[in-house]
C-alpha cells in the first residue's frame, strides 16, 4: 500500500540554547532530521513532507540536501501536534493509502518497528506506537486500552492520578489512512490544559465514530526524543555503542571500541581492523582486511582491501585508496585517487590528484593545488618515485616511471622515464665549517669573560 511520511520538525528547541534549530543538531555525523528521514525512507514512502517552523529555511535546506524530493511546508505558529500535521494536508491532497507521523527530534525509530505498525494496520484503522514507563510522573501521554483496542490518548497535563498510573505511554508515532487522518484532525479542538490542538485526540474521536485503533509496543530507548544538549550527548553515546556493537558483530576488529566514533553511514568490511581513537565522519567505506591505525580521521572516502591508513592520517572527501595502498603518519589525502600498492608514508599533502599504481611518494611531498583562487590537478603516473620534499605545483603531470630529486619544485610536466631536478646545485667550501665553529666559540668565550 502507498504510504506518505509526515515529519514534524517545527519544535523551537529552546532548551538547546542554540542559534541552530534543534533538528539540525548532529548525531552520528548527520542532523537529527536526517535520522528521522532515514526512518521514513525505510517504508519507501510515495511522498515525504517535513513540517518546518522556527529556523525553517535551514531545516528545509537540510531536508532537500538529503533528498531533493522531500516536500517542505511551514507551521508558523506552534499550536500543537495536531495543527502541525494539518499543515501537511495541502502537500498530500492527491495522496492515497496511509500516512505515518514521525518527529525530527526522534532519531532512533527502527524500520522493523514501522513494519510492525504496517502489519497492525491490516486489522485497525489507527496504529499508535507506545512504550512502557512504569513511572506515574513521566510527562508522556497515556494510552488507555481495552484488550487490543486503544480507546483514547490522554495527555499528561490533562490526566488524573489513575490515568497517570497507566504505564503505557504515547511515543507520538501514528499510522492511519491519510484521508481519515485529516478528517479526524478537522474535529480536534484546543479545549484542553495546554490549549493546543492535540494529534492524540484523533484516537478518542475515531473510537466515537466506530473506527478502530491499537498499540504497537517498542522500547523507550527507540522513541527517545531530544530536547537538551545533555540528551543529545546521551543519544550520541547510545548511538555509538550500538554502532560499535553492530560493527563487531559484522566481523570488524576494534582494539578499543569505546574510543572509535562512527557515523550513521559508516561501512566497515569483515576483518577490517580499527585501532584506538579513530574518528569516522560521514560517507566512509573501509573494505575487508584494511587497517585503520590509531588517531586517524576519515570522511567521505573509500579504503580498499589490504590498505593501511595512519597512525595520524587524515582522509578527506574524495580520497579513494585502491588495494594495498599505504598511507602513513601525518599524511592528508583529499579528492585523490591512489592506485594499487602506492605508498605515501610520511608527512604529505596529496589533494586534487591521481597517483598511479606502485608509485612511492617521499616524505614531505606537497601537491600545491591551490593558487589562491583556483584548484588545479596533479597527475602522477605508475611506478613513479617522488623524492622527499618535492613541491608539485599544479597543474602538473609526472609520466610513468619518472623520478623527482628530493627538494625539487616541479613546475613543468615530467615526461615518462625522466628525472626532474629543480633545486640549487650544492657547493662545498673546504674547511669553512671548522673555521666558522672556531670563530663562534671564541666569540662566546670572550662574551662570558666580560660578563
* Shortest Å, Cβ 23 to Ca ion: 12
Candidates 29, 55, 172, 328: give the one binding ligand UD1 (CB under 6 A): 172
Size of the site for Ca ion (CB under 5 A): 1
Given the complex with Ca ion, which of 225 and 328 has the nearer CB atom? 225
> Cα–Cα distance between 430 and 428 in angstroms, integer?
6
- Taking the complex as a whole, the smallest distance from the CB of residue 106 to Ca ion amounts, in Å, to 9
339 binds, among Ca ion, ligand UD1, none (CB under 5 to 8 A by kind): none
92 binds, among ligand UD1, Ca ion, none (CB under 5 to 8 A by kind): none
Q: Which stretch binds ligand UD1 (CB under 6 A): 71-79, 283-291, 371-379, 383-391?
A: 71-79
**CA–centroid distance for 104 within its chain:** 15
Among 125, 155, 299, 339, binds ligand UD1 (CB under 6 A): 155
Site of grid cell 579504503: 303
Options 66, 198, 280, 349; binder of ligand UD1; rule CB under 6 A: 198
Nearest approach, Cβ of residue 149 and Ca ion (Å): 26
**Residue 169 interacts with ligand UD1 (CB under 6 A)?**
yes
Q: Which does 381 bind (CB under 5 to 8 A by kind): ligand UD1, Ca ion, none?
A: none
Minimum Å gap between C-beta 225 and Ca ion is: 5
Kindly state the smallest distance separating residue 173's Cβ from ligand UD1, in Å. Answer: 9
Residues 201-240, mask of contacts with ligand UD1 (x by CB under 6 A):
------------------------x---------------
Question: Binders of ligand UD1: how many residues, by CB under 6 A?
Answer: 27
* Nearest Cα to Cα of residue 285 among 259, 248, 311, 322: 322
* Rounded distance between C-alpha atoms, residue 407 and residue 389, angstroms: 5
In terms of CB distance, is 53 or 387 closer to ligand UD1?
53
Of the pair 76, 119, the CB lying nearest ligand UD1 is at 76
The Cα 47–Cα 97 span in angstroms is 11
Separation CA 444–CA 226 (nearest Å)? 68
Q: What minimum distance in Å lies between the beta carbon of 7 and ligand UD1? A: 9
- The separation between CA 431 and the C-alpha centre of its own chain, rounded to angstroms, equals 62
Known catalytic residue at 346: yes
Residue span 217-236 as binding mask against Ca ion, x where in contact by CB under 5 A, dash where not: --------x-----------
**For residues 73-132, which are near ligand UD1 according to CB under 6 A?**
75, 78-81, 83-84, 103-105
User: Cα–Cα distance between 91 and 79 in angstroms, integer?
Assistant: 19
Nearest Cα residue to 144 out of 212, 214, 196? 214
Q: How far is the CB of 328 from ligand UD1 (least distance, A)?
A: 46
CB of 131 to Ca ion, least distance (A): 13
110 or 139: whose CB is closer to Ca ion?
139
Instruction: Count Cβ atoms within 10 A of the Cβ of residue 236 and give its class: 0-12 exposed, 13-18 middle, 19 or more buried.
Output: middle
Q: Which does residue 204 touch among Ca ion, ligand UD1, none (CB within 5 to 8 A, set by kind)?
A: none
Residue 11 interacts with ligand UD1 (CB under 6 A): yes or no = yes
Question: By CB under 6 A, which span of 59-67, 114-122, 164-172, 230-238 interacts with ligand UD1?
Answer: 164-172
Query: Which is nearer to ligand UD1, 78 or 406 (by Cβ)?
Result: 78
Active-site hit among 35, 297, 346, 376: 346
| Cα distances (Å, whole numbers) of residue 161 to 23, 164, 191, 359 | 33, 5, 20, 74
Query: How many residues comprise the chain?
Result: 451
Residues that are catalytic: 346
- Rule CB under 6 A: which residues touch ligand UD1? 8, 10-11, 51, 53, 75, 78-81, 83-84, 103-105, 140-141, 153, 155, 169-172, 198-200, 225
- Rule CB under 5 A: which residues touch Ca ion? 225
Amino acid at each position: 500500500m502507498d504510504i506518505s511520511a509526515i515529519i514534524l520538525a517545527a519544535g523551537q528547541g529552546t532548551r538547546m540554547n542554540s542559534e541552530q534549530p534543534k533538528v539540525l543538531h548532529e548525531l552520528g555525523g548527520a542532523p537529527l532530521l536526517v535520522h528521522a528521514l532515514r526512518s521514513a525512507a525505510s517504508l519507501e514512502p510515495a511522498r515525504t513532507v517535513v513540517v518546518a517552523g522556527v529556523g525553517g529555511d535551514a531545516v528545509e535546506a537540510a531536508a532537500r540536501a538529503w533528498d531533493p524530493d522531500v516536500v517542505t511546508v511551514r507551521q508558523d505558529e506552534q499550536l500543537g501536534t495536531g495543527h502541525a500535521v494539518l499543515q501537511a494536508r495541502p502537500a498530500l491532497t492527491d495522496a492515497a493509502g496511509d500516512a505515518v507521523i514521525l518527529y525530527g527530534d526522534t532519531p532512533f525509530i527502527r524500520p522493523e518497528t514501522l513494519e510492525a505498525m504496517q502489519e497492525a494496520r491490516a486489522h485497525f484503522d489507527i496504529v499508535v506506537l507506545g512504550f512502557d514507563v512504569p513511572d506515574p510522573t513521566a510527562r508522556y501521554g497515556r494510552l488507555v486500552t481495552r484488550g487490543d483496542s486503544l480507546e483514547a490518548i490522554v495527555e499528561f497535563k490533562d490526566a488524573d492520578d489513575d490515568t497517570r498510573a497507566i504505564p503505557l505511554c504515547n511515543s507520538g508515532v501514528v499510522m492511519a489512512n491519510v484521508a481519515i487522518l485529516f478528517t479526524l484532525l478537522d474535529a480536534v479542538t484546543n479545549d484542553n490544559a495546554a490549549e493546543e490542538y492535540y494529534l492524540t485526540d484523533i484516537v478518542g474521536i475515531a473510537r466515537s465514530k466506530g473506527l478502530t485503533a491499537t498499540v504497537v509496543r517498542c522500547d523507550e530507548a527507540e522513541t527517545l526524543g531530544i530536547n537538551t544538549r545533555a540528551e543529545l550527548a546521551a543519544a550520541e553515546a547510545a548511538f555509538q555503542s550500538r554502532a560499535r556493537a553492530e560493527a563487531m558483530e559484522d566481523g570488524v576488529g576494534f582494539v578499543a571500541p569505546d574510543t572509535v566514533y562512527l557515523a550513521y553511514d559508516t561501512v566497515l568490511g569483515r576483518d577490517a581492523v580499527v585501532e584506538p581513537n579513530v574518528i569516522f565522519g560521514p560517507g566512509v567505506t573501509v573494505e575487508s582486511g584494511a587497517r585503520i591505525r590509531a588517531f586517524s580521521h576519515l570522511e567521505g572516502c573509500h579504503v580498499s582491501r589490504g590498505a593501511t591508513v595512519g597512525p595520524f592520517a587524515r582522509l578527506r572527501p574524495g580520497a579513494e585508496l585502491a588495494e594495498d595502498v599505504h598511507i602513513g603518519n601525518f599524511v592528508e589525502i583529499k579528492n585523490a585517487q591512489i592506485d594499487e600498492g602506492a605508498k605515501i608514508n610520511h608527512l604529505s599533502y596529496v589533494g586534487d590528484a591521481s597517483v598511479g599504481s606502485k608509485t612511492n611518494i617521499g616524505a614531505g611531498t606537497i601537491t600545491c593545488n591551490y593558487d589562491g583562487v583556483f584548484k588545479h590537478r596533479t597527475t602522477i603516473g605508475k611506478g613513479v618515485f617522488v623524492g622527499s620534499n618535492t613541491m608539485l605545483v599544479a597543474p602538473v603531470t609526472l609520466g610513468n616511471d619518472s623520478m623527482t630529486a628530493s627538494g625539487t619544485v616541479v613546475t613543468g610536466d615530467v615526461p615518462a622515464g625522466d628525472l626532474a631536478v629543480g633545486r640549487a646545485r650544492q657547493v662545498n667550501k673546504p674547511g669553512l665549517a671548522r673555521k666558522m665553529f672556531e670563530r663562534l666559540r671564541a666569540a662566546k668565550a670572550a662574551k662570558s669573560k666580560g660578563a
